[in-house]
Amino acid sequence: ELMPQARQTLMDFVRAGGGLFVTMGDQVNIDWMNSQLRPLLPGELRGVKGQAILGDKDTAESLGLGRFMTDHPIFAPFVNSGDDEVLPGLARVTAHSLMLLEPEPSFERHVLARFSNDAPALIERNVQQGRVLLWTSSIDRDCCDLAIRPGLVPLLHQIVRYLDQALHSV
């Protein structure tokens, strides 16, 4: 939990041009996130949607990453010229649970990657001069296998560079 002054410092940082990367996981307090960080999030958190247990061969419900906004600066370096195939280390990511968000008509947000059921996986929101990226699953092994995929380090590198505004805007 953030103290009020730390929360305000974070809000001011993002609004002034800072970047924030938020990931979900099995310990996320949805009510707290919505009440405390809602002005920064790309939508109100609705709840966790569970699919299958990773590695369960009897269940075909695990979600893969299905679509990428390949012209976005985060993914652009990984796209093979001419065929829009994104780094294979990301295309093989599977998740068994993800956070759902409410639709948000009051501001613009961009879905940069989607799971195979079309649910958003990576969402961007501009907050005044800053940027917020939300990964709707975990980056550890609790909800998703991104942590063991070869795309994790290059993806996080691009995210950090983008949030630092070292890359061109969309």
Summarize pLDDT for 120-150 with one digit per residue, the tens. Answer: 999 999 999 999 999 999 888 888 899 998 8
Q: How far is CA 137 from CA 8, 44, 90, 101, 123, in A?
A: 26, 15, 14, 12, 11
- The Cα 137–Cα 95 span in angstroms is 7
Average pLDDT along the chain: 85
What pTM did the predictor assign?
0.87
- The Cα 41–Cα 62 span in angstroms is 26
Per-residue model confidence (pLDDT) at position 87:
65
Summarize pLDDT for 23-64 with one digit per residue, the tens. Answer: 998 788 999 999 999 999 999 999 888 765 555 555 546 888
Summarize pLDDT for 72-113 with one digit per residue, the tens. Answer: 999 877 776 555 555 667 888 888 888 999 987 888 999 999
Any idea what the Cα angle at residue 112 is, between residues 146 and 34, rounded to 5°?
80
Q: List CB contacts of 30: < 8 A, sequence separation 6 or more.
A: 45, 46, 47, 48, 99
Any idea what the Cα angle at residue 13 is, between residues 125 and 163, rounded to 5°?
50
Q: How far is CA 46 from CA 15, 25, 40, 136, in A?
A: 24, 14, 15, 11
Q: Which has more confidence, 48 or 1? A: 48
CB 107 within 8 A of CB 65: no
Half-sphere exposure of 131 (CA within 13 A, CB side): 20
- The Cα 108–Cα 16 span in angstroms is 18
Beta strands in the chain (DSSP E): 19-23, 45-50, 63-68, 94-95, 97-101, 109-115, 120-127, 130-135
Task: Give me the count of residues in the chain.
Answer: 170
CB 137 within 8 A of CB 143: yes
